[in-house]
Structure 1
Amino acid sequence: MHYHMLIANTYSSDFIRRFVGDSLAESIKSASDLAKSGNYSDAIETYLSIIDIDSANANAWYCLGVLYTQTNSLEKAIEAFEKSDKLLPNHPPTVANLAYLFADSDPSTASEYAKSAIISISDDEKLTSLANYEEKTDQKKIFVEAREIEYIDNTDQDFSEHPPPESSDSFEEARIMTKTGDHTGAVSIWKGLLEESPDSPEVWRGLGDALRSAGYDERANQCFKRADNLDSEPLPAPPVVEENDFDPAEALLMAVEDIQAVEKLPQGDLDDAVGWYNMGINLLGEGKNDEALSSFEKAIGGCPQSEIDLKVKAQNGRGNALYNSGRFSESVVAYHTAIAMDPHSVTGRTLFNMGSSYAAVEMFDDAIKCFTQALERGLQKEESELCEKQISRCRLLSREQVKRQSRINSQGQ
Structure 2
Amino acid sequence: MYGDDVGENADEINDVDDVQFQVQSQLMIGEECSKNDDPKGALAAFNKAISLDPSCDMAWFNRGVLLEAQQDARGARQAFQICLDVNPNHAPATANLCILLERIGDESGAYEMSTRALDFYPGHPAIMEVRERCSGSETTKAMEEMTQVVTTDSFKEEDMNTAMEEMGVDDMNAVLEEAVYHDLDENKNLDIDELRSAAEVVAATENIQEKIELVQPVTQSIPQEPENTVREEIVQESSNSSVDLDALVEEATEYIRNGDPASGLKTLKPYLKNEAANHAPSWRIAGGAMARLDLDEHAISALEHAQKLDPSSAKGWFNLGSVKQRLGYLEDAGTCYASALREDPNYIKPAIKWSETSRAINDIEGYLTAATVVATLEPNNPIKMELIITLIELAEGESEVLELASGLPPTLPAGPDLASNALALLGDGQTELHARAHSAMNNHVESVTLWKALIQTEKTNPILWRGLSKSLRAAGDVETSERCRMKADSLEKVGEISNDQIQEKVSQPNQIEPIPQVAAPEIPDLQQQNNANELLLTPVDKKPETEIVVESNPQVDLAKAALDVQQNSLVSEQFKNPVSNSIANQDISWYNQGVALIEAGKYSEALSCFDRALPSFANDDEMVIRILNGRGNAFYYLENYPACVESYHQAMLIRPEDVRGKTLYNMGTAYAEMERYQDSIKCFEQAIPRGLNKEEIKRTKDQIRRCNILLKEQNKKLKK
TM category (shorter chain) comes to 0.3 to 0.5
Q: Which has the higher helix share?
A: 1
Q: Normalising by structure 1, report the TM-score.
A: 0.38
Q: Normalising by structure 2, report the TM-score.
A: 0.24
Highest Rg: 1 or 2? Answer: 2
